[in-house]
Amino acid sequence: MVKMNVLLRYILAFDLVIAILLFLSLMLVIVGKLKSKTLIRQINAGKISDAKLIRLYNQCKKGKDSKFAAIMSAGIFYKQWITIQNDIFVAYEQGIIKRNLPL
């Protein structure tokens, strides 16, 4: 009976850790979506300098399709994270094209 209680405690602790990780992953995705919307608004309004836009575009270009980084960042929500990264990349690209800057 005592061993069963210990096993049950471990299972509950494991479940709690998994629930916390899922919650944090979900929060990261939500914050990422909000950040991407803010960034897209800044790009469309022209509030980002040309040099910074090119630098951010090149950084995003390098890591936008990295599934490993997406899984490490967002856990089981990695597909949403990749979608957010692709949306940001497209916004950078459109901003560069709009300003006639070299890709």
pLDDT tens by residue, 5-48: 888 999 999 999 999 988 988 898 899 899 989 998 998 888 88
Asked if residues 60 and 88 have their Cβ atoms less than 8 Å apart, the reply is yes
What is the average pLDDT across 92-100?
90
Task: Assess whether pLDDT exceeds 90 at residue 72.
Answer: no
Task: Assess whether pLDDT exceeds 90 at residue 77.
Answer: no
Q: What is the reported pLDDT for 15? A: 95
Share of residues in the chain with pLDDT > 90 (%): 23
Across 7-11, 69-73, 79-83, which has the greatest mean pLDDT? Answer: 7-11
Query: Burial, 92: exposed, middle or buried (Cβ in 10 Å; 0-12, 13-18, 19+)?
Result: buried
Cβ neighbours of residue 75 closer than 8 Å, sequence gap 6 or more: 21, 22, 25
Distance set, CA 9 to CA 5, 47, 80, 92, 102 (Å): 6, 53, 33, 49, 59
